[in-house]
Structure 1
Amino acid sequence: MLDIPPRVRVDVDALLAAQIDMGVCDAQARNAPVGKPTTMSAPRLPKVAGIDSTVPAPAHTAGPLAEVAPAPGALIQDRLAGWVSDLTTLHELIERLVRTATLDDGLAELLRAGSALVGARRGMAVLEPADGLGPATTVGLGLAHADLGSIETVPRSATSYGRLLDGLPDPGAHPDLLAEAGLDPRHREVAARLGYAASYALPLDGQVHGQGSGTAGESGTAFGTAGESGTADRLGAVVWLYDEPAEPNERQRHLIGHYVTYAAAHLARLVELQRARTQIATVAEELLPSRLPRVPGVQLAARHRTHPRGGGDWYDALPLPEGALGLAVGSVSGGGPSALAAMGRLRASLRAYAVMEGEDPVAVLSDLELLLRLTEPARTATALFAYAEPGLRKLVLAGAGHTPPLIVGERRTEYVETSLSAPLGMLSCWEAPSVEFSPEPGETVLLYTDGLLRRTGDPMDRAFARLHAAAASVPKADRADPGAIADHVLRTMLPEELDRPAEGEDVVILAARFE
């Protein structure tokens, strides 16, 4: 039996108790004998595959390596990964931008994407084409109309976007407006009131510039300095506002520079498209009645929506002798300026024939058929002409390939049965019997073009059923107003497109309510 001194026994017991309470390694570290070599008490690494890791390495074995710098290949891979990420971001943002079809939507998307790229919360885009032909507009992001009005009270030469619009040099980035020396007092006041402390502005040039004109990181703009890019192609300017002193870094400037380049080219196309739409709509409206006549016994209302390319749908209401009234709707095949011109000639000719022989709608359309075959043999048209006597509440009408009228009243909603006929220009001699009917007091007769039916995208039989249901659902409070009836039919038939330009078809509704 071994004779263990009491002091050693106490130390061993204390060591075991400590191991139980705080773990083996901590207990060994705390109860290491004083004066013993540190190699004796140092924790030993575990053996791996029977090899004692504490055995000194042979002399020919290298010691632990110092920290090695990353290989050049790793740096290149990281940089390529960053480029791929930036290109992916730009691709997604540009895809969203090119899906916009109107200027307001395009400017709003530009502000939204740009704010994400430069890290700003608010901004405004000012569209002001340098050629002076318009359109001119201002769109804000995170700014109310009153805020935009306040910013516009600042002298133009004191703002970044104003200087860019005027072709004056401007750094684009103003990282701390309130601390900027020489800041216009009015600008300082508006900035403090609206709560922005920094701004970053870029010009919108209508022409896509090459990268040789400068980079965003070098000049603060996507196209070099503002003075280098002329104002001939200037569409406007865009500025983002920071709540705190800040400015985009070099990478952000590079991204927003490329994005604004593509955005400006897209906005230039939208400007051209809107100008064309405005011109065509103006011509179309000038070819149609500027106002509807006032004839005792009948109330008139018309709704006309022109196709962006300029369709040939039209309507007319012409006072005739002895208190009569001529009502007409029609459509010319094709689109664009040529269709508009043909529509104007056809409408003017029908007016002349209606004055001479309006009481016989068949004769009016027969003359129109002959004129169309002789003057424009390659074009066809549909037309419906009604000779109305409001005092007698009597209508006589004839149609050439046109949709039948619809009667809307308190006790009935039904189509007028008309004889089938080919469109004008498709027969050697057009002639079809006329139809006579008498609307009840308070009933409204709807004349319309087939664009109203085709715009629904449904087959024609289903489109006719939808039109009938829309007319039957007119509220009683609106049945005394032909304009309200026409609006209700439009809202019901085309709920998502009422406030947008027609895409694909013209729409014409002429409503006549008989008292």
Structure 2
Amino acid sequence: MLDISSRVRVHVETLLAAQNDMGVCDAFEQYAPVGKPDTMNAPHPPKVAGIDSTVPSPAHTVAPAPATSGTPSATSATPVTEPRTAPGAVLQDRLAGWVSDLTTLHELTERLARTGSLDSALKEAVHAGAALVGARRGLVVLEPGDGLGPETTVGLGLGRADLGHIETVPRSSLPYGRILDGLPGGDGELAQPDLFAEDGLDPRHREVAARLGYAASYALPLSTEAAGRLGAAVWLYDEPAEPVERQRHLVGLYTRYAAEHLARLVEVERTRTCMATIAEELLPSRLPRVAGVQLAARHRTGPRGGGDWYDALPLPDAALGLAVGSVTGSGPSAIAAMGRLRASLRAYAVMEGEDPVAVLSDLELLMRLTEPARSATALFAYVEPALRRITLAGAGHSPPLVIGDRRIEYVETSLSAPLGMLACWEAPGVELAALPGETVLLYTDGLLQRTGESVDRSFARLHAAAAGVPRALRTDPGAIADHVLRTVLPDGLDEAGGTEDVVLLAARFE
């Protein structure tokens, strides 16, 4: 709490009001005292986190000169008087410091609110907290008390090896361990101003602290009333030190807001993980082994969970059915529709898989009766590995890509509408003869859409990626799929850089 008289004390908790349609100036006017304040002589509080206040600090008044002992000289013509300090100057100085704190907290919480992922929010929280308490390094340990995860540790100024050294210390000796395990004294702030002067410090903790070069720590729990305990934040000092009361108050307010923000992101991450798990369970757990052909699949789920899918199933007469598709929409409803569509296509493929047009026609009729408000794209291929012959049909789907030593080309398929768009769907099938060593790549539109480019440029990028597959990798369909993903979607876009699902299914003929 700032050192301000009770008549003019303004609580820093009004930051919450400042974030809810009340600016700093409004909060200043609301809490400015009416009447003559008491005279204060304390110095201007220092800035926090190096952020300048939007209100300029007034010049400090000159301190009164000390009275001289003895009797004034008789030759002195005028009496000696002490300069008087204007009562409002110190008050204005104090309030300017308080507004600086408000501005700092407002800016830090705004930066935290702009983070959209759990990892970035944890990094921002430990960085801002270190600035508020005057530390150079720190770490935040996310370990929700309900045991549902996710669990992670993020460091500031600490490498992975440094975090590994800290984890070798018994948890009961670490501040975050006492907080997370509910040990005595772990329900609030934990300050260790001088680790090496502390009695009973675990020898391993002393050894790790000396090795990493920190001599003091300050820890706070991260918890909310609704979510309970989420984790703990610890800041490390290079020399014996601890935050002053004002710093503790500011970082306490910040971590209270940070915990609420982290709780929301934890729920989002749990939902995303749950949907990704459900989507993976609805897809084949393993690909079949069929003589004459090698298979590999890659699936990337978007953050909201989409309806892209693939399938590979053995058929009578040593044949093989390959399918890829995409259901419109995202979230749990799209994932459920994808599961129903894939299960239906498997049944139709077993009954009449040698005619891909009939398979998709039956699927269209089923969708029209059971999913009238949804559409989907699909491609089904009937493969005869012994003859290296493929018969396929597509409903609004992107054409397959043939990758070989002599050719890199798209399969010419007829244009057709997606399933669920027309009263009666039918399109001619296409036959393709693959050469030994060639790979046929099936994929969903998410691969093209994640590039952020036009359709023509995306197709050109995919073609160039396939042409650039090294010859040493062309014997492995999995290596071909990985190379295409990395080339078409650089900078990690193949992992979680887009909202669309991505599916690749590669079949290499021997």
What is the CA deviation profile of residues 8-59 of structure 1, one whole-angstrom value per residue up to 9, with x for unaligned ones? xxxxxxxxxxxxxxxxxxxxxxxxxxxxxxxxxxxxxxxxxxxxxxxxxxxx
Alignment partner, residue 154 of structure 2: 139
Alignment partner, residue 174 of structure 1: 192
Greater shift in the superposed pair: 156-165 or 93-102: 93-102
1:111 aligns with 2:126: yes
Report the secondary structure of 1:359's partner residue.
Answer: coil
Q: Is the 8 A contact 1:293 1:319 kept in 2?
A: yes
Q: How does 1:110-509 map to 2 (within 5 A)?
A: 110-167=125-182, 168-170=184-186, 171-207=189-225, 233-498=228-493, 500-509=495-504
Structure 1: which amino acid aligns with 2:146?
D
Cα distance between partner residues in 1 of 2:481 and 2:176: 45
The TM-score with structure 2 as length reference comes to 0.80
Greater shift in the superposed pair: 279-288 or 263-272: 263-272
Alignment partner, residue 9 of structure 2: none
- For these two proteins, the number of residue pairs brought into alignment is 431
Greater shift in the superposed pair: 496-505 or 469-478: 496-505
Structure 1 position 95, deviation (Å): 3.1
Report the secondary structure of 1:114's partner residue.
Answer: helix
Q: Is the 8 A contact 1:305 1:502 kept in 2?
A: no
Structure 1 position 383, deviation (Å): 0.4
Structure 1 position 340, deviation (Å): 0.8
Structure 1 position 288, deviation (Å): 0.3
Identity fraction in percent: 76
Structure 1 position 305, deviation (Å): 0.7
Q: Is the 8 A contact 1:369 1:430 kept in 2?
A: yes
- Shift of the 488–206 alpha-carbon distance from structure 1 to 2, 3 Å rule, reads farther
Structure 1: which amino acid aligns with 2:202?
D
Q: Is the 8 A contact 2:486 2:494 kept in 1?
A: no
Cα distance between partner residues in 2 of 1:258 and 1:490: 44
Q: How does 1:32-43 map to 2 (within 5 A)?
A: none
Cα distance between partner residues in 2 of 1:499 and 1:412: 26
Q: Is the 8 A contact 1:123 1:142 kept in 2?
A: yes
Report the secondary structure of 2:155's partner residue.
Answer: strand
Greater shift in the superposed pair: 240-249 or 168-177: 168-177
Report the secondary structure of 1:391's partner residue.
Answer: coil
Q: Is the 8 A contact 1:161 1:201 kept in 2?
A: yes
Q: Is the 8 A contact 1:447 1:510 kept in 2?
A: yes
Cα distance between partner residues in 1 of 2:114 and 2:474: 40
1:90 aligns with 2:105: yes
Cα distance between partner residues in 1 of 2:173 and 2:465: 55
The TM-score with structure 1 as length reference comes to 0.80
Cα RMSD of the aligned pairs, angstroms, is 2.0
Structure 1 position 102, deviation (Å): 2.8
Cα distance between partner residues in 2 of 1:153 and 1:241: 17
- Shift of the 63–410 alpha-carbon distance from structure 1 to 2, 3 Å rule, reads farther
- Shift of the 499–471 alpha-carbon distance from structure 1 to 2, 3 Å rule, reads closer
Gaps of 5+ in 2: 1-76
Structure 1: which amino acid aligns with 2:179?
L
Q: Is the 8 A contact 1:315 1:329 kept in 2?
A: yes
Report the secondary structure of 1:124's partner residue.
Answer: strand
Which of 83, 92, 96 matches 1:67? 83
Cα distance between partner residues in 2 of 1:120 and 1:142: 10
Larger radius of gyration: 1
What is the CA deviation profile of residues 195-247 of structure 1, one whole-angstrom value per residue up to 9, with x for unaligned ones? 32111000001349xxxxxxxxxxxxxxxxxxxxxxx6110101111121101
Report the secondary structure of 2:338's partner residue.
Answer: helix
Structure 1: which amino acid aligns with 2:238?
D
What is the CA deviation profile of residues 444-485 of structure 1, one whole-angstrom value per residue up to 9, with x for unaligned ones? 111111111111222222222222222222222222222122
Cα distance between partner residues in 1 of 2:110 and 2:498: 21
Q: Is the 8 A contact 1:174 1:199 kept in 2?
A: yes
Q: Is the 8 A contact 2:300 2:495 kept in 1?
A: no
Greater shift in the superposed pair: 456-465 or 269-278: 456-465
Report the secondary structure of 1:349's partner residue.
Answer: helix
Alignment partner, residue 100 of structure 1: 115
- Shift of the 206–441 alpha-carbon distance from structure 1 to 2, 3 Å rule, reads farther
Structure 2: which amino acid aligns with 1:285?
E
- Shift of the 291–64 alpha-carbon distance from structure 1 to 2, 3 Å rule, reads same
Q: Is the 8 A contact 1:396 1:437 kept in 2?
A: yes
Structure 1 position 371, deviation (Å): 0.7
Cα distance between partner residues in 2 of 1:450 and 1:149: 42
Cα distance between partner residues in 1 of 2:494 and 2:345: 31
Q: Is the 8 A contact 2:450 2:493 kept in 1?
A: no
Q: Is the 8 A contact 1:382 1:401 kept in 2?
A: yes
Cα distance between partner residues in 2 of 1:206 and 1:96: 20
Cα distance between partner residues in 1 of 2:507 and 2:79: 101
Structure 1 position 64, deviation (Å): 7.6
Greater shift in the superposed pair: 480-489 or 145-154: 145-154
Cα distance between partner residues in 2 of 1:133 and 1:484: 35
Structure 2: which amino acid aligns with 1:67?
P
Report the secondary structure of 2:457's partner residue.
Answer: helix
Greater shift in the superposed pair: 282-291 or 481-490: 481-490
Cα distance between partner residues in 1 of 2:207 and 2:480: 52
Which of 93, 97, 111 matches 1:78? 93
Q: How does 1:42-61 map to 2 (within 5 A)?
A: none
Alignment partner, residue 12 of structure 2: none
Greater shift in the superposed pair: 189-198 or 243-252: 189-198
